[in-house]
Amino acid sequence: MDGQNKKAKILAATTPEEIDIAVMEAANLLRNGEVVALPTETVYGLAANALNPQAVEKIFKTKGRPSNNPLIVHISNLDMAKRCVKQWNNAAQRLADNFWPGPLTIVLPKSEIIPGIVTGGGDTVGIRYPAHTVIQLVIERCGFPLAAPSANISNRVSATTAAHVFKQLGDKIALIVDGGACRVGIESTVFDLTSNPPRVLRPGIIHEESINAVLSGLKIQIEKGLNQKTLRSPGLLKKHYSPLAKLICLQWQNENELKEKLAALGCKPSLTSILCFSDPPSKLGKVTMMPKQAVSYARAIYAELHNCDEAGARWIIVQTPPDSPEWRAIHDRLRRAAAE
């Protein structure tokens, strides 16, 4: 954003009239090669014209994002998706029929219209049809797909409200469209159809059992680590989604056990935030009860991490979630948030 000490304009987009104004202004900026923060159902995205390398470069500069970390391309109809890839196969069609619009990104060989800067120099691209009216309307008005990673400083906690975006990027961009709190709350599942067998690169709220059912029982894999020379998906770096405070996942049977563990870690109660499911410990820190259902937990977790940072926490203790498929994406986010 040109100039000094400028702050992003925040445009509400909840009523039809507000949406019309916000969509028009966002589309005008995007056509002029600028970046704009837009709501999606997963997290807020920092969007630019996916077909314009110079505009996409502004995303990387604004976020401080490594150039080898690819971006997801967001579309608003299947025809646009098909133009972004070399071949649209039957598996992609089945996934789109069942999960789009929604929090699923499909990785396919990229077409020539997608610049290499979008894909981190790779020959594949992740495509997603987001399920939020505002970004759908912006893409339709622009007439081109949008590259849109999460609207936050690289490796920091993703933004699920316009206020989160403003705090991290408010002096770096011109416009934030406020479409309300994100209803999913964590990033999309990324599913790679270019590998054999296909694999989940980044887990999300749509887990592999659901994908497997749609693909007629096809055996799929889950990415276990960074064994790719060229990344095919965002969210694969060891450290990601990190609050300012040190995040630690712990299990405990009772308050005394937790007290002993916190003492061993050197956590001071006055500077410790605890996110737990049950039996809230007293006098060991600021305690927040988290939802017991994975979908609700996902919707809440990033906002709570932002709250902990706002409260000045030095340590965030997260009670380890259950070990089951619906919690896999949350385990992934917490593990990367806790990485050194």
Residue range 101-113, pLDDT digits in tens: 999 999 999 999 9
DSSP string, 86-141: S---HHHHHHHHHH-SSSEEEEEEBPTTS-TTTTTT-SEEEEE----HHHHHHHHH
Question: Tens of pLDDT along 35-94?
Answer: 999 999 999 999 999 999 999 999 999 999 998 899 999 999 999 999 999 999 999 999
- Are the C-beta atoms of residues 151 and 39 closer than 8 Å to each other? no
How many Cβ atoms from other residues are within 10 Å of residue 95's Cβ? Answer: 22
Peptide bond into 109 cis (omega under 30): no
Q: What is the pTM of this model?
A: 0.93
Tell me the chain's radius of gyration from C-alpha atoms.
20
- Show the domains of the chain with their CATH numbers: 9-188 (3.90.870.10), 246-338 (3.40.50.11030)
C-alpha 176/C-alpha 131 separation (Å) is: 18
Is residue 76 classed exposed, middle or buried when 0-12, 13-18 and 19+ CB atoms within 10 A define those classes? buried
Cα–Cα distance for residue pair 204/189, rounded to 1 Å: 4
Per residue in 128-182, pLDDT (tens digit) is 999 999 999 999 999 999 999 999 999 899 999 999 999 999 999 999 999 999 9
pLDDT given at position 3: 45
